[in-house]
Amino acid sequence: MDRSYLRRYHANAIFHRIRLIPLISQREIIEQTGFDKSVVSSIVSKFTEMGLIERQSKPDANRRGRPSEGLLISPASGLLVGVEIEADAVGFVVCSLDGSILTSKIEPFDGDLGGIPQFLKRGVAAVVEASGSSAPVLGLGVSLPGLVNSDGTLVHVPVLGWRDVDILSHLQSVTDAPVFVGNDGKAAAMAERMFGACTDIDDFIYLFSGSGVGGALFLDGKIYGGADGLAGELGHIKVVPQGRFCSCGASGCLSAYLSEPALLHEIERLGGKAPADFSCILEGAEGGDEIILNVLDHAGEVLGSAVSSLINVFNPPVVLLGGNLSRAKAYLGASMQRALIRLAHPAMYSRSTVQFSKISEGMPLLGGVAIALDGVTSLDGPHVFK
Amino acid sequence: MDRSYLRRYHANAIFHRIRLIPLISQREIIEQTGFDKSVVSSIVSKFTEMGLIERQSKPDANRRGRPSEGLLISPASGLLVGVEIEADAVGFVVCSLDGSILTSKIEPFDGDLGGIPQFLKRGVAAVVEASGSSAPVLGLGVSLPGLVNSDGTLVHVPVLGWRDVDILSHLQSVTDAPVFVGNDGKAAAMAERMFGACTDIDDFIYLFSGSGVGGALFLDGKIYGGADGLAGELGHIKVVPQGRFCSCGASGCLSAYLSEPALLHEIERLGGKAPADFSCILEGAEGGDEIILNVLDHAGEVLGSAVSSLINVFNPPVVLLGGNLSRAKAYLGASMQRALIRLAHPAMYSRSTVQFSKISEGMPLLGGVAIALDGVTSLDGPHVFK
DNA sequence: TTAAATAATCTTCTTACAAGAAAAATACTG
DNA sequence: CAGTATTTTTCTTGTAAGAAGATTATTTAA
């Protein structure tokens, strides 16, 4: 924290106000942030000088006085590229700095770690090309389904079998722009913060289910990382003593009750006709399959128990459930709710809202973009703003 | 965050360096904090002007050059009073600003909420009088065994049956100095941070057991409060589905397996001769009582499970166990350790140390003082430093 | 046409960090 | 013992940037 810290803090807050509320005026920024008018004025003019934002006269309501000028992120100011690596596919997205999507595509992936740099380099180049924009790429964000520590080392990716890879160095060759890597749960949480349900919420707990169960702790306006940046592994909260075995080697983890493989396995165990993936589970549920409905109902109960622990521990304004949890809302929401009422402390539960993510369904590829945007606008990173 | 924020931040860090390392020199402060020499010099001379710290030439090692001057908190600069309210007793402590204890006493308490202001007023006056110091009282900190929200409202104190009391207003009449109230777990954690095992650790999870089980989340150098300041109720993590009933109304809470009443009840249930309190449990354990040893061993296992969840969620450098957990270290440490090895994620467990508090046994009354000191030196509170 | 109102910018003032020079206080060296 | 080297602290100067108020710009209403 040096003496320009406050300046960067101001610049940042102003940038994000403009990003979130296009055509906002300086006066409105002042109202919303409490910053001094001269601070806002000087930073806004700096931004316009840099070509980062544009002023646009807006047909104001017939009102006396000098009309306010609307501010917006210039579409030509720069691009962000997001990459989401999964077990069998890699998603690419190009956005402009305000987060509006220009292009996206999904490519099948064979899981070869060595080929990653080349694979991403081609993919990124292709999607940037396809975007038709000639703006410079300002940041690349890569989301990975595993443990990524704060040095950018990939500690473990269970579904791909990768361990202890200095992934950040690997990826430096992909682009000249700064590269940011992150865990998929944190990336998804960041997407909710940047573009989704929590744009104005400084504290929320994000929990999602997919091939595993993960999450993130968004506390005091940022993702909490702990000692090594690994915090937020909510899938490995213990929910049952001596419970089911988990891919992490322990037993009784939440992940062993809520992940896609765990649900598939449980349905099979109970004699249901084994679905191929989560979409099939949902189809079965829609069709009224009793076994599947029971499994999802029980999953909701386990989820409710875990969420009640999170509420009691964090007293969060919002708990946000994403991924498959969001898709299965109709089948596990009720039992979760019952568990919450029974188990969460009333003083805290009454002040929390547990909600399901919309981003998870609508545009699940924004995680990478979000960590790129966060990286590029972070207060101590290699950020692009004065 | 205004423009004097950084100044206060600097002043604060310097104050606590001097508090923690008496006779530290300016150069050493510069080395440890990275602040500029002129910043340290100007703040130190401001402090001496205010009479808050003193300079003292120290017989330096025979070394060339101008000798450094040792800095210390002036004993006459002010007093902090800490009050710890429990079910049947209230503890009072007077410290000077560096945290050294001048006097302390414990008074029996009848639990009468209405009489609290008078009771504390007399108690505080008596203990300040007894301290023999004529320095002004700069802050009063009161620790309470229940939920205290960030407004200073007491939401619920189970052991005393108090609910929804605006305790902070009640206590304003006790002294002219600023008054701070807090939950006992947070107060104890703050004591560990100020005076105990975590003086140089910015991130730790504190968990203690007494009449209930509580704790605190010390994250990024401060206690995390959540939406209403209620975060950190670690006693109400769910450890067993449909498990034992808890005083909070839910079931399966950690508190129902680790609190003093829970342990007493379990020993009785298993046919042991019912001990009167935790000290008796320890005596029994020392005497080799099989039932008690088993109960404590099982408690260690449950504790290990909960701590492994905490490690997986927070990736903390330190998990600190206090209160009765610390006292029973010899009887539940081993089973806890086994559970941790089995259940905590290796990548995170290898970077965490789980330790037992020494303060909890040595001087359990420092919680109130710690929240007073924290309040008085907080960056946005009514703090006494320039 | 003038006055009032509103938004944005400009001017002036002040705080406080940053970097370097100077001063203070000691030990070593010849 | 005088002079030099060394180390710590303070002082001086420069600069960034927030805070507050004055000024300018641009509109509607009277």
Last residue of a domain, one of B18, B52, B73: B73
Residue range B176-194: mean pLDDT, rounded: 96
A1 touches strand C (CB under 7 A): no
At A209, list the tokens.
């289910």
Residue for token pair 């076994």? A291
Closest nt to B24 (CA→C1')? D8
Tens-place pLDDT, residues B14-31: 999 999 999 999 999 999
Give me the pLDDT at residue B363, please: 74
Q: Which of A313, A348, A349, A351 to mutate to test the interface with B (most CBs of B within 10 A)?
A: A313
Q: How confident is the model at residue B38 (pLDDT cuts 50, 70, 90)?
A: very high
Q: Which residues of B touch A343 (CB under 8 A)?
A: 238, 250-252
Are A289 and A343 in a shared domain? Answer: yes
Give me the pLDDT at residue B381, please: 67
Residue B386 maps to a domain: no
Residue B180 maps to a domain: yes
Query: Cα distance from A234 to chain B (closest Cα, Å)?
Result: 6
B386 pLDDT above the threshold of 60: no
Are B347 and B216 in a shared domain? Answer: yes
Are A264 and A345 in a shared domain? Answer: yes
Q: How confident is the model at residue A89 (pLDDT cuts 50, 70, 90)?
A: very high
B161 touches strand D (CB under 7 A): no
B65 touches strand D (CB under 7 A): yes
State, as a whole number of angstroms, the distance between the CA of B150 and the C1' of D27: 46
Radius of gyration, alpha carbons of chain A: 22
Give me the pLDDT at residue A381, please: 67
Contact A5 B9 (CB under 8 A): no
Q: What is the pLDDT of chain A when averaged over all its residues?
A: 94
Domain range spanning residue B24? 5-73
Are B107 and B123 in a shared domain? Answer: yes
Residue B382 maps to a domain: no
Residue range B74-84: mean pLDDT, rounded: 94
Contact B57, B38 (CB under 8 A): no
State, as a whole number of angstroms, the distance between the CA of B38 and the C1' of D11: 9
Tens-place pLDDT, residues A221-271: 999 999 999 999 999 999 999 999 999 999 999 999 999 999 999 999 998
Closest nt to A37 (CA→C1')? C8
The more confidently predicted of residues A334 and A157 is A334
Are A294 and A220 in a shared domain? Answer: yes
Are A328 and A296 in a shared domain? Answer: yes
**Residues linked to residue B8 through DSSP beta bridges, in sequence order:** none
B316 pLDDT above the threshold of 70: yes
Lowest mean pLDDT among A116-125, A184-193, B62-71: B62-71
Instruction: Return the residue of B nearest to A226 by Cα.
Output: B315
Contact A238 B352 (CB under 8 A): no
Last residue of a domain, one of A73, A88, A103: A73
Residue A385 maps to a domain: no
Residue range A153-171: mean pLDDT, rounded: 91
Nucleotides on chain D that have an atom closer than 7 A to a protein CB are 5-12, 16-22, 25-29
Give me the percent of chain A exceeding a pLDDT of 90. 87
Are A203 and A297 in a shared domain? Answer: yes
Contact A305 B252 (CB under 8 A): yes
A324 pLDDT above the threshold of 90: yes
Quote the number of domains for chain A: 3
Instruction: Return the residue of A nearest to B243 by Cα.
Output: A240
Contact B313 A233 (CB under 8 A): yes
Last residue of a domain, one of B73, B108, B129: B73
Nucleotides on chain C that have an atom closer than 7 A to a protein CB are 4-11, 15-21, 23-28
Q: Which of the 244-283 residues on chain A come under 7 Å of nucleic strand C at their beta carbon? A: none
B48 pLDDT above the threshold of 70: yes
Are A232 and A184 in a shared domain? Answer: no
Are A86 and A171 in a shared domain? Answer: yes
Tens-place pLDDT, residues B202-252: 999 999 999 999 999 999 999 999 999 999 999 999 999 999 999 999 999
B27 touches strand D (CB under 7 A): yes
Residue closest to D18, CA→C1'?
B3
Contact B315 A227 (CB under 8 A): yes
Measured in whole angstroms, the distance separating CA B182 from the mean position of its chain's CA atoms is: 10
Contact B228 A348 (CB under 8 A): yes
Are B170 and B228 in a shared domain? Answer: no
Residue A187 maps to a domain: yes
Residue for token pair 């301290």? B131
Residue B385 maps to a domain: no
Query: Cα distance from B28 to chain A (closest Cα, Å)?
Result: 19
Nearest by CB: A238 against B203, B229, B309: B309
Residue range A63-89: mean pLDDT, rounded: 93
Q: What is the CATH number of the domain that holds A156?
A: 3.30.420.40
Lowest mean pLDDT among A98-107, A171-180, B88-97, B374-383: B374-383
Q: What is the CATH number of the domain that holds A23?
A: 1.10.10.10
B39 pLDDT above the threshold of 90: yes
Residue B136 maps to a domain: yes
Residue B384 maps to a domain: no
Are A372 and A291 in a shared domain? Answer: no
Are B243 and B350 in a shared domain? Answer: yes
B382 pLDDT above the threshold of 80: no
Give me the pLDDT at residue A275, please: 87
Residue range B49-71: mean pLDDT, rounded: 89
Q: Per-residue DSSP letters for A33-97?
A: H---HHHHHHHHHHHHHHTSEEEEE----S-SSSPPEEEEE-TTS-EEEEEEE-SSEEEEEEEET
Tens-place pLDDT, residues B85-108: 998 999 999 999 999 999 999 999
